[in-house]
Amino acid sequence: MATSIVKYTGDLRTEAVHTASNSHIITDAPVDNHGKGEAFSPTDLMATSLANCMLTVMGIKASAEGMTSIDGTLAEVTKVMFAEPRRVGEIHVKITFPKNDFTDKEKKIYENTAHTCPVAKSLHPDLKQVLTFIW
């Protein structure tokens, strides 16, 4: 079964449907690339997926290992576009944890988990990933 079905609806907009859950995502081309910028662009989704993946696998690790909870952790994503060819050149992710009493060992485990999440490992090595952890 397909993971998703994506339909081009015109005017530089797409609608993606997740087949397992029927969740919908709309994308628009960004304003700097002939679009309206009324929704995530495809490259916004790619950059955002990196942070989603990092937080998800850290949550899995917390649950599996009985570590201090990361509930309430926030990730701020900044995508940097490069030209020639037009592409995402850098993704900056600032992860701010709640004021829990994380041990040094937990901090190291969480940071390693973020760096090695499936999306991070799937992106091209030329794409620079800049991670900042705020404890």
pLDDT (tens place) for every residue of the chain, 135 residues total: 999 999 999 999 999 999 999 999 999 999 988 999 999 999 999 999 999 999 999 999 999 999 999 999 999 999 999 999 999 999 999 999 999 999 999 999 999 999 999 999 999 999 999 999 999
- Residues 24/4, Cβ–Cβ less than 8 Å: no
Going from the N-terminus, what domains does the chain have, and what CATH number goes with each? Answer: 4-33 (no CATH), 42-134 (3.30.300.20)
Identity at 40, one-letter amino acid code = F
Contact yes or no for 106/73 (Cβ under 8 A): no
Q: pTM for the complete prediction?
A: 0.93
**Which tokens belong to 71?**
């509930």
